[in-house]
Chain A
Amino acid sequence: MTLLEAKKGDLLKITGISDGENKRKLLDFGFNRGMVLRVITFAPLKKTVLVALRGYVLALRAKSCALIEVTI
């Protein structure tokens, strides 16, 4: 599944990043295969997600989330 389908509070392992506009940016931010991230919360309207990884917190739009393949 992708990060888009995740629920608030989920602890997820990244299995890969699909090709897309923000791919390299996500890689630069440390979204590597095998990295664990947590979904902190969603913004109102649910389009923007707050995730924590590597000890910092990042806000991402749905479009970027759709690139992030994760498993529980």
Chain B
Amino acid sequence: MSVRTKTSCIEPINGVKTAEKLQTDNISKKILLVGNPNVGKTTIFNLLTGSTNHVGNWHGVTVDTCSKRIIHNGSIIEITDLPGLYSLTAAGAEERISAEIILARGYDLILNIVDMCNLSRNLYLTCQLLEAGAPVTVVCNMAERFRLEGGDADIAKLSKIFRVPFVNFNLTKDGRRQLLDACVLPIQCRDGGTDFLRVNEIQVLSRNIGAAAKRAGLSPMFAATKLYERDTAIAEKLNIGLDALKIPAGSEGVVSAKRYEFIDSVVAKTVKKESSVCRNGCGSCKTDCGGSGNFSAAYGESRLDKIILNKYLAVPIFLLVMAAVFWLAFGSLGRVLSDGINFLIDGLALPAISNVFFSWTPDWVRGLITDGIVRGAGSVASFFPQVMLMYLALAALEDSGYMSRVAFVCDGLLEPLGLSGKSVFTMIMGFGCSTAALTTAKNLETKQVRLKTMLLTPYMSCSAKLPVYAVVASVFFTNNFLIIFLLYLAGIIIAVALAAVFNMIPSLKTHEGSFIMEMPPYRKLSPKRLIKLTLKNAGEFFVRVGTVVLAINIIVWILCNFSLTAGYGTTPDLSLMATLAGFIKNIFAPLGFGTWQAATALLSGLVAKETVITTIASLGGAAAVFSSSQAALSFLVFVLLYTPCISALGVIAKEAGIKWAVFSFVLNFVVAYAAAFAVYFIGIRFF
């Protein structure tokens, strides 16, 4: 329901500081937010621009660039949030986006966000930005946490050594102003700051390739360094074959070692006291823990990992956590709240509307409002609490840092299936909204893994399908919680089976993947943030129900209640929709639900899955649509598995190409048809 990051969402100027103000000081600055993954770039972006883009405590939440303009002291500033990257020699697709933008130089300043708690690795990227000759201001984020943990760094000295501004940052209004002030300051630039890379071969190389580098708009020294590191992207840019340069073996190691040597010497000079907290009992950080296990504040955190990542407990704990999430959303609290809303709609709103407010209107108007709009939209709206609880639980898993642990734990289990641990992120998000989940697939390592994860994510039953299960199952089965559970499980089992099949197809087979993932520290959940997120999701939910779902409802209702010959009031079986859906209903006859009502529900579900249940509700309810419990179950299995909604297919088409979107469409239909047929056949035969 929420699409994670908006693609290049250039938005109109924010704030009402009148047009004439803009004309007088029309100084436009373009600023990039650059940094390692999970250092808080999007949080800073949101603070600076007043946006609510998705943030989370794992690496690679942002997968696309996002720009927004604001006005600060009369200057227009365009701020762009980039996906995180570790190095300018990009490894993944979203790193490549960032690296390309940084090297293209279409900006005035880079705000390089660094995590003070992880300074040396963060400065590695800073070094490369300086090598590339980019105008940089370094923003020291998480400084608060660093100080609280007893760390102490000399920002002024860092600034002096790197010859670029280092600014402390805190997440407040004040911090926002200070940061924006730093943005509009005259820009200081350290030119081609590569004097920490004193390697003769690179200097020679830079003279040889100087002309080619300048043609490509790069500094010769930077281009030479990157070529020396065997960066194929840069070699392509310069139109130079790497083999022709006769670069000695092990050259990558030389450059990287030089950078880290420099960084380590700087850190030794400027960081007076490192954080006393050894985040994971590593012992490699020069702190009091010294590997002795005698460390203070974070001890509890490490202890948590000891249990959560335990060889035997890890998987059972994960299953328990997921079971708890589902129980919270569907079994306990969510169900009570849902029943309450249902009562309000059926018991109060509907009688009031038809008997009081609209009693004077013609039949067809009353019919449209009660059956088409209120009953239809209401059948989704009553699941509002359950959908929200699901989102809330997913956000909590993400923010706490648990999701990355799950990725680590599951990696070994997913590798034989040709997937990566990180696929788990995308797939679990799929329980919320397939479309939003699919956009996160971008940060997966290889094309094959990305593609397979995208093809399998729709099998994780999205929250819009839940009302269908709940409503239909409650009519035909006594234990509908069990049915819902089995449906979710069936989706997962089929996804696993398909993954195994995919791995046998040569073009989809994964060569042993290169899973490398940073593990974020645990973070305390902020109730404020969770509430904000829930409100955002709630807003999106109602907008969706109020637009797409409502529009389809009205169209379907009109088609179902009018006929070309008789106008309104025709028997539904003669309606326009019955005629249209009549053409395709026979396809579903072998599955037990060959009625035009079921066909209509499935057709409307192609646009948005919520409308499956709204259509059924406005066509007389599940009891009228299905003839037997076998047919109803077969229908539920079909809904679980069939073709993803249009917006989900759109994401697949965008990320993998039209061909794969069509493949997904066909594959899901075939699998759904086969599974529903099997369920119906077995149901009829044995029960």
Contacts and interface: CB of A to CB of B under 8 A. Distances in A.
Given A17-B253, A41-B309, A43-B408, A22 B516 contact: yes
A35 B673 CA distance: 56
A33 interface: yes
Contacts of B415: 45, 47-48, 61
B399 interface: no
A64 B124 contact: no
Interface in B517-570: 517-519
B121 A32 contact: no
A7 to B, nearest CB: 13
Interface in A12-52: 16-17, 19, 21-30, 32-33, 35-38, 40-48, 50, 52
A69 to B, nearest CB: 12
A50 B514 contact: no
Contact of A25 (B249, B285, B514): B514
Contacts of A43: 309, 314, 408-409, 411-412
A64 B285 contact: no
B253 A47 contact: no
A29 B257 contact: no
Given A37-B282, A38-B283, A48-B421, A61 B253 contact: no
Given A30-B124, A52-B284, A59 B87 contact: no
Contacts of B421: 48, 59
A55 B282 contact: yes
A48 B412 contact: yes
A55 B411 contact: no
Contact of B282 (A17, A53, A60): A53
A51 B279 CA distance: 12
A53 B284 contact: yes
B86 A57 contact: no
Contact of A30 (B117, B121, B513, B517): B121
B311 interface: yes
B514 A56 contact: no
A44 B412 contact: yes
Interface in B76-128: 86-87, 89, 91, 117-118, 120-121, 124
Contacts of A11: 283-284, 291
Contacts of A58: 516-519
Of listed B256, B314, B513, residue having the most chain A CB within 10 A: B256
A52 B279 contact: yes
B154 interface: no
B543 to A, nearest CB: 38
Contacts of A32: 253, 256-257, 260-261
A48 B408 contact: yes
A29 B121 contact: yes
A21 B518 CA distance: 18
A19 B253 CA distance: 10
B409 to A, nearest CB: 6
B515 A25 contact: no
A54 B121 contact: yes
Contacts of B314: 43-44
B412 A45 contact: yes
A54 B512 contact: no
B305 interface: yes
A59 B411 CA distance: 10
B486 to A, nearest CB: 25
A27 B253 contact: yes
Contacts of B315: 44
A42 B311 contact: yes
Interface residues of B, number: 51
B230 interface: yes
B285 A54 contact: yes
B53 interface: no
A56 B409 contact: no
B256 A27 contact: yes
A26 B411 CA distance: 19
B252 interface: yes
Given A28-B89, A44-B311, A57 B280 contact: yes
Given A44-B311, A57-B518, A61-B513, A52 B413 contact: no
Contact of B257 (A33, A52, A55, A63): A33
Contacts of A57: 279-280, 282, 518-519
Given A28-B256, A38-B281, A59 B120 contact: no
B229 interface: yes
A3 to B, nearest CB: 13
B284 A54 contact: yes
A48 B283 CA distance: 20
Contacts of A29: 86, 121, 516
A28 B44 CA distance: 25
Contacts of A40: 280-282, 305, 309
Contact of A64 (B408, B516, B519): B516
Interface in B107-166: 117-118, 120-121, 124
A19 B260 CA distance: 19
A19 B247 CA distance: 14
**Which among B249, B282, B519 has the greatest number of chain A C-beta atoms within 10 A?**
B282
Contacts of A55: 117-118, 120, 274-275, 278-279, 282, 284-285
Closest 3 CB pairs of A and B: A52-B282, A45-B412, A27-B256
Interface of B: 86-87, 89, 91, 117-118, 120-121, 124, 229-230, 249, 252-253, 256-257, 260-261, 274-275, 278-285, 291, 305, 309, 311-312, 314-315, 407-409, 411-413, 415, 421, 512-519
19 contacts: A11-B283, A24-B256, A29-B121, A38-B280, A41-B305, A42-B311, A43-B409, A44-B311, A44-B312, A45-B415, A52-B284, A55-B274, A55-B278, A57-B279, A57-B282, A57-B518, A59-B421, A59-B516, A61-B415
Given A43-B412, A55-B275, 5 more contacts: A38-B291, A43-B314, A44-B315, A45-B412, A53-B282
